[in-house]
């Protein structure tokens, strides 16, 4: 990461986001299962998966669940309804009361959407650590992804991650849900590039057929190759393959340790480029290795928890 990116990401700690499971806040059975799953993060959904006449009930269920469930080793995100809906204020009141790790804003199309929520959160002294995630799921959202991501440069923005929403994007563009996502790749990469330009994490969209784990695995491999940090999931069966594809491989871990050890060798002190087995390795590769090894430590620490 460049020094410029580091300067505005000081409030965005590194986290595991290989598997981001979305759970309807209205579904008691799904909520109860969450504590036994090995996902890195959970999105508790108050938006699309909750009918209009069940929104208040969903907020009540979610508040009770978050006040009693032990999710200390998973990131907790609440997806709220948009600011132009009658549910927004009550959703935000719930978020500020239960204090999750982040609030997920749906269908973000302009930077002002993020800033308005950041300002609302900033009025609450107890919400200092609350971050913002933004769903990019419309043509305007994709076109404005760089402008939205750039709002994360301000110290009070709280913007931490993008999440792709392809179901709405397919509907708006008329692109069918075909294997390989051929005609969507350009849009996906545009959002990845915007996120990386401004130091944000970026989460790939859901795969709707949770029974076809082979197709899901292929989509995970594609998303990892495109640079996504993880994938939004809709079923517990998708957690393990998502962790596998977006987690570091044994070969990558071994390479990272080799590079890290080489740059900590006193013989290479002060060098920005060194020779490892006939390959020229730069210090930026050592920084990448350190980040990968830090994630390995987080994964191992989670495994050690009861």
Q: Which of 74, 24, 15, 51 is nearest to 234 (CA)?
A: 24
DSSP state letters, 275-298? EETTEEEEHHHHHHHHHHHHHHHH
Mean pLDDT score, 121-146:
92
pLDDT surpasses 80 at 215: yes
The answer to whether 219 is a known ligand-binding residue is no
CA distance 161 to 11: 12
The answer to whether 170 is a known ligand-binding residue is no
The answer to whether 123 is a known ligand-binding residue is no
| Confidence at 2, pLDDT banded by 50, 70, 90 | very low
| Confidence at 127, pLDDT banded by 50, 70, 90 | confident
| pLDDT at residue 89 in the model | 96
Structure token pair of residue 15? 């986290």
User: pLDDT (tens digit, 9 = 90+) per residue, 94-103?
Assistant: 999 999 999 9
Helices (H), 71-110: 88-98
- For 89, 153, 221, 261, the CA distances from 254, given in Å and listed in that order, are 49, 34, 20, 11
Pick the more confident residue, 15 or 219. 219
| Confidence at 244, pLDDT banded by 50, 70, 90 | very high
Q: Which of 64-68, 76-80, 140-144 has the lowest mean pLDDT?
A: 64-68
Q: Which of 33, 25, 89 is nearest to 55 (CA)?
A: 25
Query: How many alpha carbons lie under 13 Å from residue 61 in its C-beta half-sphere?
Result: 19
pTM of the entire structure? 0.89
User: pLDDT (tens digit, 9 = 90+) per residue, 160-197?
Assistant: 999 999 999 999 999 999 999 999 999 999 999 999 99
Mean pLDDT score, 253-263:
90
Domains of the chain in start order, with CATH, are: 3-246 (3.20.20.60), 250-304 (no CATH)
Classify each residue of 152-180 as buried b or exposed e, where b means 16 or more C-beta atoms within 10 Å of its C-beta.
bbeeebbbbbbbbbbebbbeeeeeeeeee
Structure token pair of residue 122? 């900033």
| Confidence at 5, pLDDT banded by 50, 70, 90 | very low
């Amino acid at each position: 990461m460049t020094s410029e990116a580091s300067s505005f990401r000081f409030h965005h700690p590194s986290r595991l986001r290989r598997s981001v499971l979305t759970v309807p806040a209205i579904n008691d059975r799904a909520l109860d299962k969450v504590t036994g799953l090995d996902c890195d993060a959970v999105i508790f959904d108050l938006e699309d998966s909750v009918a209009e006449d069940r929104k208040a009930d969903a907020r009540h269920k979610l508040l009770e669940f978050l006040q009693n469930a032990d999710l200390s080793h998973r990131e907790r995100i609440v997806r709220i309804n948009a600011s132009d809906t009658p549910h927004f204020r009550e959703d935000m009141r719930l978020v500020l009361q239960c204090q999750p790790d982040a609030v997920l804003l749906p269908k973000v199309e302009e930077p002002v959407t993020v800033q308005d929520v950041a300002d609302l959160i900033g009025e609450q002294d107890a919400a200092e650590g609350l971050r913002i995630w933004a769903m990019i799921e419309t043509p305007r959202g994709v076109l404005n992804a760089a402008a939205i991501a750039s709002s994360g440069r301000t110290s009070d923005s709280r913007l931490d991650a993008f999440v792709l929403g392809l179901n709405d994007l397919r509907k708006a563009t008329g692109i069918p849900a075909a294997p390989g996502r051929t005609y969507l790749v350009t849009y996906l990469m545009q959002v990845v590039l915007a996120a990386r330009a401004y130091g944000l994490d970026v989460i790939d969209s859901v795969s709707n057929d949770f029974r076809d784990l082979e197709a899901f695995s292929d989509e995970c491999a594609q998303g990892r190759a495109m640079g996504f940090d993880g994938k939004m999931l809709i079923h517990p069966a998708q957690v393990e393959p998502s962790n596998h594809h977006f987690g570091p491989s044994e070969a990558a871990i071994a390479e990272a340790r080799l590079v890290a050890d080489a740059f900590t060798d006193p013989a290479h002190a002060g060098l920005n480029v060194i020779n490892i087995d006939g390959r020229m390795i730069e210090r930026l590769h050592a920084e990448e290795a350190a980040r990968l090894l830090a994630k390995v430590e987080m994964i191992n620490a989670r495994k050690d928890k009861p």
